[in-house]
Amino acid sequence: MKAYVGKRLYLLRHGHKEWIDEDGHSRVAVESRMGHEIAGVEGTYSNVTPTMERAIMGSLQARWQGFVVTSGADWLPSSPKSLPVDLLTWMKGKVSAAQVSNTPSGS
């Protein structure tokens, strides 16, 4: 694909590491998510729990929703081929859901 010519493709896989580091997630969970092994005793005896994974998913979802809300319903990702869904309708639904979930209670 022309968009990736000259790009370092591993950055696509590692692009969100800074975000999950910023959000303070366990080093073991972060490195495991990146496909890395931690050397020594820490790597041998540390495991990623479902709670750790859910925490990472939750913080990444919150970042995504913040992006969606600020980008508005007109944002469309580029796609090299047709998608099996009407992306515009789907995206508007995601924007609406994110706006509802980001509305403070009592407002």
* pLDDT for the residue 95: 86
Phi and psi of 92, rounded to 5°?
A: -60, -40
Task: Give the pLDDT of residue 8.
Answer: 72
Question: Distance (Å, rounded) from C-alpha 103 to C-alpha 101?
Answer: 6
Report the pLDDT value the prediction gives residue 25, as an integer from 0 to 100. 95
**Which pTM value belongs to this model?**
0.60
Residue 72 resides in a domain = no
* Total number of domains constituting the chain: 1
**74 belongs to a structural domain:** no
Contacts of 20 (CB under 8 A, 6+ apart): 29, 30, 33, 56, 59, 60
Decide if pLDDT at 107 tops 60: no
Query: What's the pLDDT score for residue 54?
Result: 95
Per residue in 2-59, pLDDT (tens digit) is 766 777 766 766 778 889 999 999 999 999 988 888 898 888 888 999 999 999 999 9
Task: Kindly state whether residue 46 falls inside one of the protein's structural domains.
Answer: yes
* Domain of 15, in residue numbers: 8-65+83-101
Whether residue 18 lies inside any domain: the answer is yes
DSSP the chain: -GGGTT--THHHHHTTHHHHHHTT--HHHHHHHHT----HHHHHH----HHHHHHHHHHHHHHHHHHHHHH-TT-----SS--SS-HHHHHHHHHHHHHHHTSPTT-
Residue 32 resides in a domain = yes
Q: Let me know if residue 71 belongs to a domain.
A: no
